[in-house]
Amino acid sequence: MSTDPVAEFFDPRTLADPYGYYESRRTEGPVLDVSTPDKATYLVIGAEAIREILAQPGIFSSRPVGAQGVNLYPRAEALLKEKGFGRTPQLIVMDPPRHTAFRGVLGKVLRDKRFHQMRPQIRAVASSLIDDFALAGRCEFTRDYAWKLSVLVIADLLGVQRGRIDEFKRWSDAWVKPLLQPLTEQEMFDCVTQIAELQHFLVGELAARRESPRDDLLTDIAHATFDLGSGEVPLRQHEQLGLCELLIVAGNDTTANALSLGMLRLVERPDIADRIRGGGRLIERFAEESLRYEGAVQNNFRTLTQDTEFHGVRMRQGALVLLSWSAANRDPDVYPDPQAFDIDRASVRTHLGFGGGIHTCAGAALARQELVESYDLLLNRLRNLRFDAGFTQPDLVRMGGLVSHGLARLPIRFDVASKSNCAIDPSVQNQ
């Protein structure tokens, strides 16, 4: 690997496994200069420094600059306008006061009640996915469980009919794909064509909900109002679309990756799998520690709106600031013995895996339910979790880049517990 610390940081091998890099540079302070010849860039690795930044959204803006964000290629962008409804406004890259207004809408539609109503649906989806592969005694967990569960739960939450699920999955995958890997222009055209189909589908569904409301999130979004300073007004069509698209994309790849990384921990640590099986609080602690130990989102971007001196580092207006949730989650000042996977640690829920501040993850409550219900069901139905034959630790490939982080594949084998031994049956819950 390169001896240049900047080149080393951007090296795909470091991005795949950045923890050694963070440790080697911790003594330099919480803010590292990783500027490239094209762009002044700072990497913030200390938990306290990140929290200070999150408290100052006016200086550390979420609005993208330059090539940051999804770079669609101009012709693909034009195609999205021609075939669909063009780019939609996205909460995650807004600053106050616009962010406050849109986040308020999301807060209203994603109220806890709706999330809590999802629990039985999550269990039903999880159970049927496990049914599909259990008898085989093996599965490729990322493909057969993690991705399917996260997409199906979002589809259920929105109120997409089961008959449209396959299309919905294809469309939401197309939305996420450009965020995960560099694409050729032709590949981007293919994605954009599908995103346009998704937009038409959503516009039709939203119109149907305005005519005859149902008990689902699409109905709430179709009727949502917000106040940008001149009184409460209905969301316009592209704003409704933006919210739907954000929920699809934000909850899709993140939850899938978190589920797979959690499953990897269960495979690596059979002692923990045995200990938490059937134990509600312990499963919650396991889910939190998994998010801390190796999270599904490594970094998010901010842009400096003014020249600033921060922790002794002079940064210029326009510089890119990478908030490293993954480094903060291994900060020894907050987590004693940070490289250890320890579900008993006192600070298990204080991690920054869901970000923080005004942009803190709006779907965290839902994601937590998906993780906890999944681990509970999986552990109760599957025993002796292990890598599939011929697959070993060195075969694990991490994907993603600066933002997303997950496993390319996780082929596993297991023994199937008889249904009567499953904790899903309340009569045998604590056996």
Neighbours of 266 (CB within 10 A): 22
**DSSP symbols for 393-418:** GGG--EEE-SSBEEES--EEEEEEPP
Rounded CA-CA distance 359/99 in Å is 9
| Cβ–Cβ under 8 Å, residues 328 and 47 | yes
Rounded CA-CA distance 250/159 in Å is 17
Q: What residues contact 329, with CB distance under 8 A and at least 6 apart?
A: 47, 291, 292, 293, 295, 335, 338, 351, 352, 353
CB of 1 to ligand HEM, least distance (A): 27
Please say which residue, 348 or 366, places its beta carbon nearer to ligand HEM.
366
CB of 354 to ligand HEM, least distance (A): 5
CB of 373 to ligand HEM, least distance (A): 13
CB of 103 to ligand HEM, least distance (A): 5
Please say which residue, 373 or 388, places its beta carbon nearer to ligand HEM.
373
**DSSP symbols for 287-348:** HHHHHHHS-SB-EEEEEESS-EEETTEEE-TT-EEEEEHHHHTT-TTTSSSTTS--TT-TTT
CB of 413 to ligand HEM, least distance (A): 25
Please say which residue, 244 or 422, places its beta carbon nearer to ligand HEM.
244
Rounded CA-CA distance 204/427 in Å is 45
Please say which residue, 118 or 188, places its beta carbon nearer to ligand HEM.
118
Q: What are phi and psi of 343, to 5 degrees?
A: -75, -5
Burial 156-191, CB ≥16 within 10 A → b, else e: bbbbbeeeeeeebbebbbbbbbbebeebeeebbbeb
CB of 363 to ligand HEM, least distance (A): 2
Helical pair 237-250 and 165-180, crossing angle rounded to 10 deg: 80
Please say which residue, 277 or 405, places its beta carbon nearer to ligand HEM.
405
Which of 25, 65, 64, 61 lies closest to 45 in space, CA to CA? 25
CB of 36 to ligand HEM, least distance (A): 21
Please say which residue, 354 or 414, places its beta carbon nearer to ligand HEM.
354
DSSP bridge pairs for 411: 140
Rounded CA-CA distance 380/142 in Å is 19
Rounded CA-CA distance 62/44 in Å is 15
| Cβ–Cβ under 8 Å, residues 312 and 271 | no
Please say which residue, 113 or 392, places its beta carbon nearer to ligand HEM.
113
CB of 369 to ligand HEM, least distance (A): 9
| Cβ–Cβ under 8 Å, residues 326 and 19 | yes
**What is the binding site for ligand HEM (CB under 6 A)?**
62, 91-92, 103, 246-247, 250-251, 254-255, 258, 295-297, 300, 325, 353-355, 359, 361-363, 366-367
CB of 364 to ligand HEM, least distance (A): 6
- The residue number whose beta carbon is nearest to ligand HEM equals 363
Please say which residue, 79 or 249, places its beta carbon nearer to ligand HEM.
249
Please say which residue, 71 or 300, places its beta carbon nearer to ligand HEM.
300
